[in-house]
Chains A and B, each alone.
Chain A
Amino acid sequence: MELSSKHHEYWRKNLVITAVLLFIWFVFTFVEAWYARELNAITFFGWPLAFWFSAQGSLAIYVAIIGVYAYLMGKLDREYGVDEGDLE
Chain B
Amino acid sequence: MSTAAFSHSAFNRQLKKYYSFYTGGFIAFLLALALAEQMGMSRTWIGYWFLFATIALYAGIGIMSRTAEVAEYYVAGRRVPAFFNGMATGADWMSAASFIGMAGTLFLTGYDGLAWVMGWTGGYCLVALFLAPYLRKFGQFTIPDFLAERYGGNIVRTIGIISAITCSFVYVVAQIYGVGLITSRFTGLEFGVGVFVGLAGILVCSMLGGMKAVTWTQVAQYIILIIAYLTPVVWLGTKHTGIPVPQFAYGYTLQKVGDLEKKITADPKEQEVRKIFADRAAAGRAALAAPDKAYAEGKARVEQNLASLKAANAPAEKVAEAEKAVAAYPGSVSAARAQWTRETGLAARAAPPRPHAEAFVGKDEAARNTARLNFIGIVFCMMFGTAALPHILMRYYTTPSVQQARVSVFWSLFFIFLLYFTAPCLAVLAKYDMYSNLVGSSFASLPVWAAAWAKVDPGLLNITDINRDGIVQWAEVVIGGDLIVLATPEIAGLPYVVSGLVAAGGLAAALSTADGLLLTIANALSHDLYYKMLDPHASTTRRVTISKVLLVVVAIIAAYVTSLKPGDILFLVGAAFSLAASAFFPPLVLGVFWKRANKWGAIVGMVVGLGVCAYYMYTRYPFFGVNMPLWFGLSPVSAGMFGLPIGLLTIIIVSYLTAPPSKEVQELVEHVRYPNLTGDTVVSEAR
Inter-subunit contact A56/B404 (CB<8 Å): no
Could you tell me the distance in whole angstroms from the C-beta of B105 to the nearest C-beta in chain A?
A: 13
Among B153-161, B342-350, B414-422, the stretch in contact with A: B414-422
Query: By the criterion CB–CB under 8 Å, are B12 and A88 in contact?
Result: yes
- Judge whether B523 is part of the interface by a CB distance below 8 angstroms: no
Interface centre among A7, A63, A82 (most CB of B within 10 A): A63
Look across to chain B and name the residue whose beta carbon is closest to the beta carbon of A80: B674
Q: Would B410 and A70 count as touching, CB distance under 8 A?
A: yes
Are A82 and B128 closer than 8 Å at their CB atoms? no
On chain B, the residues within 8 Å of A10 by CB distance are 674
Interface residues of chain B, those whose CB is within 8 Å of chain A, are: 1-2, 4-5, 8-9, 12, 81, 111, 114-115, 117-118, 121-122, 124-125, 128-130, 133, 247, 250-255, 357-360, 368, 372, 375-376, 379-380, 383, 400-404, 406-407, 409-410, 413-414, 417, 420-421, 424-425, 667, 670, 673-681
Known: A33-B372, A56-B247, A69-B128. Contact between A88 and B118, CB under 8 A?
no
For A88, the chain B residues whose CB sits under 8 A away are 5, 8-9, 12, 81, 400, 404
A-B pairs with lowest CB-CB distance, top 4: A46-B251, A36-B359, A88-B8, A54-B114
In the complex, A55→B133 CA distance in Å? 28
Across the interface, B359 reaches (CB within 8 A) one of A47, A50, A58, A65, namely A50
- Check B676–A83 contact: CB distance below 8 A: yes
Task: Tell me the interface secondary structure of chain A in the complex.
Answer: helix
Shortest Cβ gap from B675 to chain A (Å) = 5
Q: How far is the CA of A34 from the CA of B377 in the complex (A)?
A: 11
A79 within 8 A of partner (CB): no
A21, B40: Cα distance in complex, Å: 56
Asked if residues A87 and B677 are in contact (CB atoms below 8 Å), the reply is no
Contacts of A7 in B (CB 8 A): 674, 677
- Is the CB–CB distance between A46 and B359 below 8 Å? no
Cα(A82)–Cα(B359), bound, Å:
47
Starting from the known contacts A66-B124, A82-B677, 20 additional A-B residue pairs (CB-CB under 8 Å) come to A29-B122, A30-B379, A33-B376, A40-B111, A46-B254, A51-B357, A51-B359, A55-B425, A56-B421, A60-B421, A63-B417, A65-B128, A66-B125, A66-B128, A66-B410, A70-B406, A73-B406, A77-B675, A87-B404, A88-B400
B contact residues around A45 at 8 Å (CB): 251-252
Q: Are A70 and B407 touching (Cβ within 8 A)?
A: yes
Decide: B670 and A3 in contact? CB cutoff 8 A: yes
**30 pairs, A vs B, C-beta closer than 8 Å:** A1-B667, A1-B670, A3-B670, A21-B129, A22-B125, A30-B380, A33-B375, A34-B372, A36-B360, A40-B359, A44-B251, A46-B250, A46-B251, A47-B251, A50-B111, A51-B254, A54-B111, A55-B114, A55-B117, A59-B118, A59-B121, A62-B122, A62-B125, A65-B125, A65-B128, A73-B133, A77-B676, A84-B403, A84-B675, A87-B1
Complex: how many Å from CA A65 to CA B1? 31
Taking the nearest CB of chain B, how far is it from the CB of A50, in angstroms?
Answer: 6
Q: How far is the CB of B375 from chain A (nearest CB, A)?
A: 6
Q: In the complex, how many angstroms separate the beta carbon of B332 from the nearest chain A beta carbon?
A: 49
- B413 near A73 with CB under 8 A, answer no
Do A84 and B402 touch (CB < 8 A)? yes
CA gap between A56 and B128 in the complex, in Å: 20
Report the interface size for chain A: residues with CB under 8 A from the other chain: 49
**A67 and chain B: residue at smallest CB distance:** B410
Alpha-carbon separation in the docked complex, A46 to B259 (Å): 12
Q: Check if A82 sits within 8 Å of B676, measured CB to CB.
A: yes
CB contact under 8 A between A1 and B4, given known A30-B379, A59-B118: no
Q: Knowing A63-B410, A70-B403, A70-B407, say if A55 contacts B125 (CB, 8 Å).
A: no
> Given that A86-B5, A88-B404 are contacting pairs, would A52 and B359 also be in contact in the complex, using a CB cutoff of 8 Å?
no
> Which residues of the other chain, A, contact B673 by a CB distance below 8 angstroms?
11, 14
Q: Across the interface, do B251 and A58 meet the contact criterion of CB distance under 8 Å?
A: no
Shortest CB-to-CB span from A53 to chain B, Å, is 9
Residue in contact with A82 in the complex, picked from B252, B360, B414, B674, CB distance below 8 Å: B674
- Known A-B contacts A87-B4, A87-B400, A88-B81; A52 and B118 likewise in contact (beta carbons under 8 Å): no
Residues of A11-42 contacting chain B, CB below 8 A? 11, 14, 18, 21-22, 25, 29-30, 33-34, 36-37, 40
Residues from chain A with Cβ under 8 Å of B5 in the complex: 85-88
Closest to B401 in A: A87
Task: Pick the residue among B118, B414, B678, B681 that contacts A63 (CB under 8 A).
Answer: B414
Q: Which residue of A lies closest to B680 (CB)?
A: A1
Residue from B255, B380, B403, B678 within 8 A of A87 (CB atoms): B403
CA–CA, A62 and B414, complex, Å: 9
Q: Which residue of B lies closest to A69 (CB)?
A: B128
Q: Are A58 and B680 in contact (CB under 8 A)?
A: no
Chain B residue at minimal CB-CB distance from A10: B674
